[in-house]
Structure 1
Amino acid sequence: MIYLKTKEEIELLRQSNMLVGKTQGELAKWIKPGISTLKLDQIAEEFIRDHGGEPAFLNYQGFPNSLCTSVNDQVVHGIPNNTPLKEGDIVSVDCGVLLNGYYGDSAYTFCVGDVDPQVKKLLEVTKTSLYKGIEQAVEGKRIGDIGFAVQSYVEQFGFSVVREMVGHGVGKNLHEAPEVPNYGRRGNGVKLKEGMVIAIEPMINMGKRHIVQEADGWTIRTRDRKVSAHFEHTVAVGKDQADILSSFKFVEEVLHLQSEK
């Protein structure tokens, strides 16, 4: 069952997603060599609660933390730990918030210090592919149009799309129908309608698309151990264009200031 959201509900979803964006912005100040993902997790939980929200991932289906932190060859659902991040690492920070009864969900992959140019390219391409997908989130298009836009963009660079993990609807539940794959055929799948709210989240591998699950039951990593990037926005399907409810603005302000130092 796909729930179409009213304008009022979309505004509540915007508030939840803005808090996710602000949390990511706060984390951006801390991400550097030497910090652990567990410390980032503590910072995020405190920030979310201080702003009236609840961490959406904490205890979700038994997940033990507030953030999913996936380092290097980890694709998604990495569990925060005490291992310090190193110069040259990348870390995907996936964050969810529950505020006023509605969920926010967004992910950003950060560079830790100086990162290999080819890895930077993967991040750039993955992020651009997210916006290519978002361009298709308009009434009358289909879910397959989103996946096709992501897939056709990243594959021209020799990168590959994870198939098993997908985006999803967002609302009063963290995961709602429909599923939103990052691959697909134009004109296929569920027809998009104004009022649908979906998380579009390309997970793109430097090497082959195949993944495995770690023994912890959560962490997904690439089978070939090559790095993977992940960017996610929650968007409302619009008549003429998608309305992006989450935001990278707060992250990018911090990163811009840091690069000017």
Structure 2
Amino acid sequence: MRDLVTGMSYLVKGQRWVGRNRRQWGFGLLPGLITLIGYAAAMTALVFWADDVVDWATPFADGWGSPWLGLFRGALTALFFGGCLLLAMLSFTAVTLLVGQPFYEALSERVDLAEGGSAPSSGLPLWRELWISARESLAVLVRAASWGVLFFALGFVPFVGQTVVPAIGFCFSGFFLTEELSAVALQRRGVPLRQRLELLRSRKLLVLGFGVPLTLLFLVPLVAVFVMPGAVAGATLLARDLMGEDEAAEAATEFTAEVRE
């Protein structure tokens, strides 16, 4: 339970950090705003064209009589729109992080400098970092979307689909959201995707304490935009914990104090 509380505290500490550094908060808002505008335009277009897409995809139903044609295509339209909305929710963080890679990396470095006095660097050119980030984000998105489809289907199971499945779904969403956010700091440390997932699985309560409350906040896209800079700062603090850097810094400080004495 201690890890669960610690994970929640990193979420709060991240927001406090950007609150004390307003320029970094404003700097970190730009990618989220750009992504939100793009997603809003896409979802607006989807509202107008979803019926046409379903009609085009189901020509075999043109001859069906009323009310079956309307019920069938209406259900497909709802499923199509719901699936696109789920994909948008799952991909929003990944796309925002990709768009804002230089912004969030700079923010994460400043958190490292403030906490430990140094900021690890991958030493890779920007284009290489963007390529690695895009490739690994896509891999995570495919995994998250696969689980999302499964949970969406299980949601139709009576009782279980309305109680147990949403709770488990939030836990999975929190895990993958934490992975995406902590990747900003861990990629700078040269930690590949497979090892990042192993690190996160080794401290599941820490990850869930950070990710699940954040997932609930991110259900509202506008809130996600304003919370994102602090989430990146908090995820950097969490990454330092996963890598044992804070313990190492404390040990070095204690050793230095003992030598001086």
Q: Say which one has the larger Rg.
A: 2
Q: Greater helix percent: which structure?
A: 2
Of structures 1 and 2, the one with the larger relative CO (CA 8 A, separation 6+) is 2
**Which one has the bigger strand percentage?**
1
TM-score (norm 1): 0.26
